[in-house]
Amino acid sequence: MLLCCLLLALARADEPRIPRMIWQTWKTHDVSGLTHLRADATEELAAANPGWTRSLLNDSEADEFMRAHTPPYVYETYGALRPALGAARADLLRYALIAHHGGAYLDLDVACRPLDSFVRADDGCLLSPSAYRATVGGGALVEKFSQWAVVCERGHPAVRLALCLAVARLRARLPGAVLRPARKAHQAVLWATGPLAWSAAWDEYFKHGGSRVRVTGARYGGHCDEKGALRDREFYLSDELSKSDYHHATLEGESLLLLDRLADPTIHAAPNVSLVQVAFAKWR
């Protein structure tokens, strides 16, 4: 019995900390209609990573995952997002998937060299500085880290914090820097759930001495390209790949949510992460 336990422990010690799973999402399982995506992009991804399983979640599967694996407070927020904001929905999903399963979440327009060529067995998380520093509010809010790819072990506290912060920001009044001057929905999404929320979560994690992460160079040390699967590399943020026309949409009111879908429609003056953390603590 002791020998069996020892052998099992040794076997687990050899397992990589980041599970060899690739996650992606789209409205349906059929991506052939995405005219800006290279026809061979998905096959190329699978062929380059034979030791990794790949899962493409359609909208109904994504909804079922969020319902089953996040607290009701989080799932309710996910379901209350305005229909045009599919990008925000995809942000919440990537954080939840990696927090629950671990692995590598890749946007459909991302292309990488074989993941095993740069994801080490002892990596707890890979963090890529942003290559272009998107800003919101005239530069008042700055993207530090990219999240078009999220590569982390299961249960990493920074990923979980990013999910909590994104939900808290969705439940809060949008700050003036986001609302001014043009009230563009894409700027609100960048702040609420996208790379600005991701960056803020890591800032907080590092502030408290967080570890279990390897910071690479931009674009994961040159191993990935956020436009690498596109036919036209100059093309940016198509309606197809953002799952909506939110890039051109104007904000309605001070929230990205449909408040009538919330049990408690209170919009807080500022993000309250503790409310979401309590929801996780109570949920089993």
List pLDDT tens digits, range 225-254. Answer: 998 888 765 544 444 444 445 555 677 677
Distance CA(25)–CA(93), nearest Å, equals 9
Q: From residue 65, give the alpha-carbon distance in Å to each of 75, 87, 93, 125, 195.
A: 9, 17, 8, 22, 22
Question: Per-residue confidence at 182, pLDDT binned at 50, 70, 90?
Answer: low
DSSP, residue by residue, 107-141: -TT-EES-GGGT--TT-SEEE-B-SS--EETTTTE
List pLDDT tens digits, range 106-146. Answer: 999 999 999 999 999 999 999 999 987 666 665 556 789 99
List pLDDT tens digits, range 18-35. Answer: 999 999 999 999 998 887
Residues counted in the chain:
284
Distance CA(140)–CA(37), nearest Å, equals 33
37 pLDDT more than 50: yes
Q: 54 with 24: CB under 8 angstroms?
A: yes
71: which 2 tokens? Answer: 């607290």
Question: Per-residue confidence at 9, pLDDT binned at 50, 70, 90?
Answer: very low
The overall longest dimension of the chain from CA atoms, in Å, is 68
Domain ranges (residues) in the chain: 17-282
Top mean pLDDT of 80-89, 94-103, 202-211, 266-275 is at 94-103
Beta-ladder partners of 151: 104, 126
List pLDDT tens digits, range 42-91. Answer: 889 999 999 999 999 999 999 999 999 999 999 999 999 998 899 999 99
Residue tagged 């299961």 (tokens): 154
pLDDT score of 134: 61
Task: Give the SS3 label for residue 8.
Answer: helix
Q: What is the mean pLDDT of the chain?
A: 87
CATH number of this structure's domain 17-282: 3.90.550
